[in-house]
Amino acid sequence: MSTQPSKELETFDNAMPDRDYTIHIETPEFTCLCPKTGQPDFATIKIDYVPDQKCIELKAYKLYIWSYRDQGAFHEKVTNQILDDLVAACEPRFMRVTGIFNVRGGVYTTVVAEHRKEGWIAPTPVQLP
């Protein structure tokens, strides 16, 4: 596998496709460039998803995230693009991508984008005493 930035996302078969469970991925060192100034933007990208038949392979995911380092991107666009690319790669039952961007000009930005597979209903959480 390459050690260069790449937009190619690899997947592997979900070992438990009959069960709803959540995979949480947190990337505290996301970087891209401000499309207006060219200055670096820093963020934490959080991904929560319920896989269906495929899961995202993590090294490919790291290389994918790395590919944004020198790319100009508005916070809203890049968060939604990450969601679109991950959904296209693994077709999850549910996915949420949260981009928590560091301060820029005195303003913090958090962008949340979601995908829900048609017909999928979230399980009811168990409430223990």
Please give the positions annotated as active site: 34, 41
In 3D space, the residue among 92, 117, 125 whose CA is nearest the CA of residue 14 turns out to be 92
Return the number of other C-beta atoms located less than 10 Å from residue 70's C-beta.
Answer: 12
CA dihedral 74, 88, 26, 6 (to 10 degrees): -70
Return the number of other C-beta atoms located less than 10 Å from residue 90's C-beta.
Answer: 22
